[in-house]
Amino acid sequence: MSPRDGSSATIFAPFSGILVPLDEVPDPAFAQRLAGDGIAIDPLDQRVVAPCDGRVLQVHRAGHALTLSAYGLEILIHVGLDTVKLKGKGFKARVKAGDDVRKGDELMTFDADYIATNAVSLISPVLVTNMDRVTSLRPRTGKVRAGDLLLEIGTAAAQWAQITELQRDALRSSPIVVTHEAGLHARPAAVVAAAARQFTSDVRLVKGDREANARSLVSIMALEVARGDSITIVARGEDAQEAIAGITRTLTTDLAASHGAAPAAKRPERAAAAPKAAAPSRDDGALRGVPASPGVAVGQVFQLRHDDAVLEERAADANHERRELDAAIASAHLQLEAMRTRVATEADADRAAIFAAHQELLEDPEVLDAAAQHIREGASAAFAWREAYTAQSDRLAGLANPLLAGRAADLRDVGRRVLHLLVGRDDTPHDVPSDSIIVAEDLAPSDAATVDRTRVRGFCTTMGSATSHVAILARGLGIPAVAGIDPRVLDIPNGTRVILDGDAGTLQMGPTAADEGEIAKRQAAAAQQRNAELAVAAEAAVTRDGHRVEVVANIGDEKEARQVPEVGGEGVGLLRTEFLFMERRTAPDEQEQTRAYEAIARALGPDRILVIRTLDVGGDKPLPYMPMGTEANPFLGERGVRLSLNRPEAFRAQIRAILRASKVGKVAMMFPMISTLAEWRAARQLVEEERSALGVPRIQVGIMVETSSAALMADRFAEDADFFSIGTNDLTQYTLAMDRTNPRLAAQVDALHPAVLRLIERTVAGARKHKRWVGVCGALAGDLQAVPVLVGLGIDELSVSVPIVPAVKARVRSLKLSECTETARQALDAADGAEVRALVARRHT
C-alpha cells in the first residue's frame, strides 16, 4: 500500500527483531502509551534504518532515540528502555536533525551488548507521537526483518491533502551573499526568524552542507553566517514561493540597508540586540550599580544559578508536563514583558532590547521542539526544558564567533527563568563557599533559603534597586548589597576576589592588600559600635528631653520575627506578606497563611505589636499564578490593595487568616497603596464582614501612606483609620515622579526631599486631628540622617530592618525633641534632599 494514497501510511521495521506489544513493555510511560502508540521490538541486529521516507526531526542529545517526520506523522524510534542515562555511550547517530532520508537509509548503530548490560532492557519502542493525526493503528505481531511491514496507520483524508502539500518538492532560492556587517548574528538573525514566522511553509537556510530552521534564532545563529557568506533559502509548503521572496527581501534589502543598525523588522520591538557594550563602569574599573544595603565587604564571587538544581527526571503524564511547560513559558513571557516595559520607560533601550531578545528565545522552535520531544519520551517538564535549552546554549557557546557565543548566556538566562518557574521554590541548597559575595541576575526570597547565610558577605544583582527584595534581604541580614549593577558582573568567574561597597554601590575586582587592610579597619570600627549599641538595645528609645519613640522592625518571615526581641525591637511595624506568596506556583491557602501569621505572632509574644500588611504585589511584581494584563505603567496600575480588591475571594482569605492570627498576638492589619477613600472603605468593609462572621474582637486597621493622595487626604482617612504607616519608598517615587528601581535616577530619589517631608508633615497633621498614631516603615526610617527629621515631624514609630534596630534606638537617645522640631521646620523649607542632609549634618553630628 502506498503511503501517499489518501488515508493510510505504512511504517516498516527499522531493524530485525521480535515484536512486543506496548502493553508488555516494562516501562509504564511506554506501556501506558504516554509517549504515543505503536509497537516495540526486541532487536536482533544493531543497525537502525529509516522505516519510510521522511525527514529527521530530532536526534536525541543522548543519541539513544530519534524522531522522523513523514506524511505529517512524527515517528519516534527509542532504542532500549531508560537508555537516556547511558549519556550516548553505545550509540552512534548516522544522521542529524534536518536530514532527508529514504526508506532503508542507515539512521543509527548501537552496541547491543553494552546496552543490554547497562540499561533496563533492549526492548525498543517505535511510536507515533502525534496521535491526534491518527484514526487507526494496526501493529503486526511475531517476528520482523528490517524493512518488513511494521505498522499500518490510518489518518483522516483531509489531513493527507495538507501533508501531501507539505511533501511537495522544495523550492530553492538562488544563492544570496550576506552583506550585513556582522553576518547573521543575533539581531539580524532575529529579524530573519521573525520574517520566516510570517509564513506557514517549512523554511531552511542552507550554508554549504549545513542548514538551519529559519524560524529559529538559535538555529540561524548556530549556522555561523559571516559577512560575505553565500546562503540559499529552501522552502516547502503552500506559501514557499512567498516565503523565499519575503526572506530574500529581508536579507538583501532590510538588513543590507541597516548596515548593522536597527533593521526594518516587521516586529521591531521584538528584535534582539547585542548586549550593551558600554555598560556603566567607573574609571577605576569598578562596576557600578545602586547602593541597596550599607556596609562594605571583601569576599569571593559566587554566581548563584538555578540550573544547578536537582530535578525529577521522569514524569508519568506527558500531557500534564506539556501544560506545565506552556504555563511556565507564558509566565516567563509576562515577567520579561514587565521588565522590558519598565526599563523601556526608563529610556534604557539597551536593557529593554535584551529582554526583548529573551522573549524571542522563548519562542524559539528548536528549543521548544526539543523540549516537547523529551516530554513525549517521558521526561518531566523541568528536566525536558533544561535538556533543551542547555543543549542549544552549549551549541552556541561552542561557536567560534564571540558575538554569537555570547548569546549562549542569553539563552541560559531565559532558560533558567522558565526552569525557576517550573520548579517553583528551589530549595536545593547551594554549596556557597565562605566569604561569598553572591552575584545573580536577581534574588528572590527563596534564594535566601538556599544559601548558608553565615557564609555570605554581600549581594550583588543586575536587577533590582535600593528598595527591591535584594535590598530588603541584605538589610535584614545586616550585610552590604548593590543592585542594578552592570550585567557584566555575571561573567566574573567564581572565586574572584572583590570588594562590594554597599554605600557607594560599586563592585571592585582584584583589591590590593592595602585596600583590604583599610576595609578591615572600617569593619572593626563598625562592629565595635554595633556591640555597644546591642548591649543597651533592650532599653527604650527616649530622647534626652524625655520623648519616647517606638522602634519596631520590618520583617518577611518567622525567622526574622524571632530575631526582633533579641535586638530590642518593640514589635513589627511591617510584615511584608508577599514573601509568602512569591516564588511558588499556587497561592498559599487560608490555613497555610494562618499558620504562618500565628507563628510570627507567637515569636513576638503577646505584648509586641505585629502589623500585618495585606498582599502588595502587581505592577512590577507579578505573581505567576495571578494572571494580569500587560500594563504600560505598572507602577500606576493594578498593584497593592487595588489588585486585592479586584480578587475579593483571595483577599477575604488573607483577611480571615490575619484575623484568626489575632487570637494569639497583638495583631494589626494595614493595606498597601491606598490612594482613595473608596478603596479604604471597601477594604475596611471586607474586614468588618469577615470579623463579625468569625466572631473575633476588633483589631487596629490602618493604611499605608504611599501615595500623595493618601498623604494629602490624611485628615479624611484618619476619621476611621486607626493608624498610618508611611511607605517612603513608594511615596518618594510618586511624589518626585522618579521610578525607585531606575539605577539612573537612584542618586536623586532621596526620601529626604522636602516635597516628601511636606507630605509627611501633612499626614501627621491629619492623624493628630483624630488622635491616630503615625509610623514610618519605608527605608527612610532606618536612615540615621533622617531620624532627627522624622522625630521632629512628630513620627511616633520607626519601623526598620532587624539588624539596625539597635542603631536607630541609639540615634534617638542621642537627640533632643526640641532640636529635632527646629531641624524639621528648617528641612521643610530646604531646596532638596542634599540640603536637608547638610542641615542634619550641621545640627546633629
What residue 778 binds from Mg ion, ligand PEP, none (CB within 5 to 8 A, per partner kind)?
A: ligand PEP
> What is the contact surface with Mg ion in residues (CB under 5 A)?
706, 727, 730
Tell me whether residue 290 or residue 574 sits nearer to ligand PEP (CB atom): 574
Q: Shortest Cβ distance from residue 294 to ligand PEP (Å)? A: 17
Q: How many residues at the interface with ligand PEP, by CB under 6 A? A: 11
- Per CB under 6 A, the segment of 223-231, 290-298, 349-357, 723-731 that binds ligand PEP is 723-731
Q: Select from 706, 761, 796, 797 the one that contacts ligand PEP (CB under 6 A).
A: 706
Q: Is 845 exposed, middle or buried (0-12, 13-18, 19+ CB in 10 A)?
A: exposed
Closest Cα partner for 552 from 796, 241, 196, 343?
Answer: 796
Q: In what order do the strands lie in the sheet with 65-70?
A: 100-101, 54-59, 65-70, 73-78, 124-128, 37-43, 17-20, 143-144
What CA–CA distance (Å, rounded) separates 487 from 744?
Answer: 15
What residue 690 binds from ligand PEP, Mg ion, none (CB within 5 to 8 A, per partner kind)?
A: none
CB-based contact 358:411 (threshold 8 Å): no
What CA–CA distance (Å, rounded) separates 503 from 474?
Answer: 13
Cell numbers at 166, concatenated: 507539505
What residue 728 binds from ligand PEP, Mg ion, none (CB within 5 to 8 A, per partner kind)?
A: ligand PEP
* Residue 619 interacting with ligand PEP (CB under 6 A): no
What CA–CA distance (Å, rounded) separates 85 from 303?
Answer: 28
* Cell 519575503, residue located: 246
Q: Select from 163, 272, 736, 777 the one that contacts ligand PEP (CB under 6 A).
A: 777
Q: Is 777 a catalytic residue?
A: yes
* Residue 707 interacting with ligand PEP (CB under 6 A): no
What CA–CA distance (Å, rounded) separates 535 from 17?
Answer: 81
**Count of CA atoms in the C-beta half-sphere (13 A) of 274:** 17
Q: Shortest Cβ distance from residue 672 to ligand PEP (Å)? A: 6
Tell me whether residue 594 or residue 733 sits nearer to Mg ion (CB atom): 733
* Residue 14 interacting with ligand PEP (CB under 6 A): no
Q: Shortest Cβ distance from residue 777 to Mg ion (Å)? A: 9
Of 338-377, which residues contact ligand PEP (CB under 6 A)? none
Q: Is 469 a catalytic residue?
A: yes
Q: Select from 67, 293, 390, 467 the one that contacts ligand PEP (CB under 6 A).
A: 467
Q: Select from 80, 484, 571, 727 the one that contacts ligand PEP (CB under 6 A).
A: 727
What CA–CA distance (Å, rounded) separates 772 from 692?
Answer: 24
Q: Shortest Cβ distance from residue 484 to ligand PEP (Å)? A: 16
- Per CB under 6 A, the segment of 76-84, 318-326, 426-434, 722-730 that binds ligand PEP is 722-730
Which H, E and C letters describe 297-349, residue by residue? EEEEEEECCCCCCCCCCECCCHHHHHHHHHHHHHHHHHHHHHHHHHHHHCCCH
Cell numbers at 463, concatenated: 536587577
* Residue 729 interacting with ligand PEP (CB under 6 A): yes
From the candidates 306, 469, 753, 844, which is the catalytic residue? 469
What CA–CA distance (Å, rounded) separates 707 from 684?
Answer: 18
- Per CB under 6 A, the segment of 77-85, 496-504, 708-716, 728-736 that binds ligand PEP is 728-736
Q: Shortest Cβ distance from residue 642 to Mg ion (Å)? A: 13
CB-based contact 315:378 (threshold 8 Å): yes
Tell me whether residue 690 or residue 797 sits nearer to Mg ion (CB atom): 797
| H or E element in which residue 114 lies | helix 112-118
Q: For residue 441, how many other CB atoms are within 10 A of its CB?
A: 18
Q: Select from 475, 576, 691, 753 the one that contacts ligand PEP (CB under 6 A).
A: 576
What CA–CA distance (Å, rounded) separates 596 from 381?
Answer: 30
Tell me whether residue 421 or residue 798 sits nearer to Mg ion (CB atom): 798
Q: Shortest Cβ distance from residue 780 to ligand PEP (Å)? A: 8
What residue 74 binds from ligand PEP, Mg ion, none (CB within 5 to 8 A, per partner kind)?
A: none
From the candidates 52, 777, 820, 844, which is the catalytic residue? 777
Enumerate the active-site residues.
469, 777
Q: Where does this chain bind ligand PEP (CB under 6 A)?
A: 467, 574, 576, 616, 706, 727-730, 777-778
